[in-house]
Structure formats: structure tokens, C-alpha cells
Amino acid sequence: MSPTYDVIVIGLGGMGSAAAHHLSARGARVLGLEKFGPVHNRGSSHGGSRITRQSYFEDPAYVPLLLRAYELYDRLERDTGRAVATLCGGVMLGRPESRAVSGARLSAEQWGLPHEMLDAKEIRRRFPTLAPRDDEVALYEARAGLVRPENTVAAHVQLATRQGADLHFEEPMTRWEPYRDGVRVHTAENTYTAGQLVICPGAWAPGLLTDLGVPFTIERQVMYWFLPTGGERPFTAENHPVYIWEDAEGVQVYGFPAIDGPGLGAKVAFFRKGTPCTPETIERTVHDDEVAAMAEQVGRLIPDLPGRFLKAATCMYTNSPDEHFVVTRHPAHPGSVTVAAGFSGHGFKFVPVVGEILADLALDGVTGHPIDLFDPSRLTAAPA
């Protein structure tokens, strides 16, 4: 007899570990299968920090989900004692008409979110490390900041395990098929059956979700750590906000305060501008010309930051064609399969609320959260 569960979760990275927590908290018998070990650095949920913010330039439709994600991050911190969020404040900086500034402002105004608009002079006064051009402005949000991906995944794994979920690491799913009213899932070691399957594949989406019909693309991204000229003091989280800066050409750079301790520098990255890859072929080596390009770009806004290059690491985005998420009951298997994919480089701040939505969809078939924007039919509809 194959072991039987209410729900099997595939992938225990950001989204899958949160789903395993929310499902097991509601009393479901959960099996989680993960290709690698707990909290690994081979997917999309590593590198120490992720920006979180509510004045969301991508679309105001994300704001109610962000309000809920903030509550759930608070609760996660209380329930596990792990540091998962640091709200050091954040600036979205660029010309007034840039997407980063105008989009953030639209969300803030539409939802009545607390924010301040700063001109270049005021930015320089409040944040002396930043040297914007005279025609640049910023939206400052005090409740922006960072979340910690490794601690968040570890916290969800800890809670799910405590609630009785069976989490199997180093045991990838090799294939699955519909079985009776539910699904049957195979690994090299075993076969399992369940009423519901929740697939959270990260960058493995193209291989695992072929029948969804969404053309996901995987992008190599690099994170860079620099030791600032003159030391880290002006860059600590008490003194420095997270930032997203869009230049006149639309190139976005984002970064963090120095949170790792003395000598360990501060992290910065290009928001997009990655190169196509697959999880199997991604180039993990970061080359000198890439470091030089990053130092040159961020040095235009924060001259002291690229003092000395310390280290770099790669990570993958899983992009949907319009860079909005795909969170849905699987259209081809609506009674038994739920998917969460295509987080397009901006998903981590939503991890706990996506976990809650996946538990709603798997156990109740519907969610009260507004997820119309994430319906894959927007991407797969046949041309008229």
C-alpha cells in the first residue's frame, strides 16, 4: 500500500514550505517532497535578504496581499523566535515619471498607505549616502524593509514539522499522475497517494508544469556584496533604508543596509537584466566585468558603496510573460492540483500569504484573497 496523505507539496523552498505550514496548521496530513536539503542555495530563496514594501509599483492589486503578508511575517517571528523581517524603511527613487516612483505613488495613494515624497535635496539630507541627480525624487515608506529568506524557510519548516507534516528532503518527485479522486506521486524511493497536490517548483516550473501552457523563462541573477569606503557605519539598518533606484534608461538597481556584521559589507543587485538559463546550466561563477558593471552603476547613486568587492552569488528568477504571479487551481486538473509559480523576481515578500492561499485552494477549492491577477488564462488564452 502506498502511504496516503491529504495533501502532497512539491518543493519546500519559499512557497512550498509556507504551504506545508499553513496546510498542517489546519490539521491536514501533509507530505512535503524537496529535491535538495532544507534551506539550500540552489533555487531562488537564498542570499540573506529580500526587499519588502507595500507601495507596490508593479500593481496596486498586490497591496491587500502585502498587508496580510506583513501580519503573517509578524506571527511567524512570534511563533518561532526567528528574525524574519527588519523594517528599516525604504526609498523608491528615480525621476517622478519612472515606474519605480510613479507606480509606488499610485499604490500608496490608492490604498492610503503612509508615505512621504522627497525631492533630491531632501533625499541627500535624510540619507547622506545617497547622491541623487537634481531631477530625481523618492517615495519613502517607513514600513518598507527586508525579510530574510533562509530564516523564513527554516521557520516554516520548523512549524510544519511541529504540526506533524512529513517533510522528505533529498527526495525529488520524478513524476505524478491522476489517481482515483486525487493524485499518485512517484520518487526514486517510493510512491505516495493524496487527495490534493500542491506544486511549488520555483525555477523547475518549465519541466514540472508543461501542461499549464505558460511560457516561463528562467533568468540568472547576481547578488553582490561590497565593503563601503569609510566603513559600514552609515550603512547599518539603523541608518540606512532599502532602496530601488531606476535610472533615466529604466535600469533598476536595488540594495540593502549592511546587516551581516562588521566587515561583511552590504548587498546590491540589478532588479532585472539577467541572462536566460536553466537550473541545470546556470553559470554560478560571477565574472570581473559583471562586478565592474555593478560597481559603476550603483556608484552613480551611492558613491561610497562599491569600495571593495567582497563576494557575489547567483540566484534564479522564474519569469511569467507579464511578470505577474501564477497562483491557481491547475486548469487541467481543477479538482486535485494547485500551482504557485512564475514569481518573476518579486515573490519572496509574499511567501506567507501565498502559503495561506495555497492552503485555501487545496483544502477549500477557493480563497478569499484577491488573486484574479494570478490566473494563468491571461497568458494562455488563444488569440482572437
Ligand X SMILES: Cc1cc2nc3c(=O)[nH]c(=O)nc-3n(C[C@H](O)[C@H](O)[C@H](O)COP(=O)(O)OP(=O)(O)OC[C@H]3O[C@@H](n4cnc5c(N)ncnc54)[C@H](O)[C@@H]3O)c2cc1C
- Which residues in this chain contact ligand X in the complex, by CB under 6 A? 10-16, 33-36, 43-45, 47, 50-51, 172-173, 200-202, 204, 208, 221, 223, 269, 315-317, 343, 345-349
For ligand X, give the closer residue by CB, 67 or 230.
67
**Nearest-approach distance from CB 230 to ligand X, in angstroms:** 26
Query: How far apart are CB 361 and ligand X at their closest, in Å?
Result: 16
Min. distance of Cβ 382 from ligand X in angstroms? Answer: 27
Cell output for 43: 533555487
Nearer to ligand X, 8 or 138 (CB): 8
As measured in angstroms, the least distance from the Cβ of 238 to ligand X is 20
> Hey, which bits of the chain come out as E strands?
4-10, 30-33, 50-52, 85-86, 90-94, 116-118, 137-141, 145-147, 166-168, 173-179, 182-187, 191-199, 217-227, 242-246, 252-255, 266-270, 275-276, 308-319, 326-329, 337-341
User: Cβ contacts of residue 169 below 8 Å, gap of 6+?
Assistant: 12, 34, 36, 37, 38
**In the complex, least distance from residue 345 CB atom to ligand X, rounded to whole angstroms:** 5
Nearest distance, CB of residue 92 and ligand X, angstroms = 13
98 or 320: CB nearest ligand X: 320
29 or 168: CB nearest ligand X: 168
Select 111 or 119, whichever has its Cβ closest to ligand X.
111
Nearest CA-CA partner of 63 in 141, 127, 116: 141
B/e letters for 227-265, b = 16+ CB within 10 Å, e = fewer, are bbeeebebbebeebbbbbbbbeeeebbbbbbbbbeeeeb
**Nearest-CB residue for ligand X:** 13
Whichever of 172 and 234 has its CB closer to ligand X, that residue is: 172
